Amino acid sequence: MIFAVVLVSAGIGTAHAGEQQLLHYNHAWGTFDRATADAVEHSTYLKEFADFEVRTTTGADGKVWTGRYLRGKETYLEVFGIGDVPGQDGELGSAGLGLSTERDGGIEVLKSRLRAAGSTPIEFLQTRDFGDGKPVPWFDAVFLDDTYERFGAWAMEYRDEYLDDPRSKVGPAQFPGDVSRDRYLPDAYKDRLMRNITLIRLAVTAGDLADTMPLLRAGGFLLRTDPAGVTASKGGTTIRFDQVAMGRTGLKRVEFDLNRVVRRHVEQLGTSTLVVGPGKRAVWTF
């Protein structure tokens, strides 16, 4: 069911002000035209810019997808081409957002907050098959609506079975209950330019935005609404949602913090443009 969003100019609010920040930006994905996806996949420069990988993954229920991954210290980006993921997620203009906990048990607190606010969390266990036909529990996920137009967001908490599996190449826990993004991602970012994603800009429909708001509130984000959309902060990465009509949706902009100061470099990747520098900042527009 689609709900209308009422946007209040310069409004500020979060449903759990003063409480523990439960969710943080983990990763976002977007589905782009084939020329852009192929340019990303075969780019020599991106292998220097980020810890870059093209990987085909088998998840729960045998779902298979092929993504192009740019990984930093705590955050990453996933790029699909049309048809690289099954169903509507593989259609042009689709996008998604993963928000994760840092400590074991945070997802249970999140579910309690959602229920208290009148939402009904939908639970899902994502698995990963490392190639032996034996799926390993990967992360617990929570979302609020299993139907969406072009954008969906979910909360996730990594499972010990995955973190403790040597094939995952995950580092040791740094504190009790460590299920953090920093633990999950490899340290290869240190030898590249990309350090972290500082801003994500997504164009979403009114219905998809309305379905996302309760998850952001329960996760502890500070939300600022304006006539054009919503900006969510406090999760380590600023997330901007522009409310648009169908046909204009998708991942539109990514901003990065870099490991070192660089001169300006422009890389054209299909219909997208990555501008790196000057300084310790890069911007990728789609």
- 57 membership: H or E segment, kind and range: strand 51-58
pLDDT, position 13: 53
Give the residue carrying structure tokens 């443009």: 273
In angstroms, the CA 143 to CA 217 distance is 13
In the chain, what are the domain boundaries? 11-285
Which one-letter DSSP state was computed for residue 82?
A: T
Between 13-17, 229-233, 239-243, the lowest mean confidence (pLDDT) is in 13-17
Q: Using only the alpha carbons of the chain, give its radius of gyration.
A: 18
**Measuring CA to CA, which residue among 273, 190, 193, 203 is closest to residue 244?**
203
Tell whether the model's pLDDT for residue 16 goes beyond 90. Answer: no
In angstroms, the CA 207 to CA 162 distance is 34
pLDDT, position 61: 83
In angstroms, the CA 196 to CA 131 distance is 30
Which pLDDT tens digit goes with each residue over 177-224?
999 999 999 999 999 999 999 999 999 999 999 999 999 999 999 999
Q: How confident is the model at residue 1 (pLDDT cuts 50, 70, 90)?
A: very low
Three-state DSSP state, 208: helix
Q: What is the mean pLDDT of the chain?
A: 93
Which one-letter DSSP state was computed for residue 103?
A: B
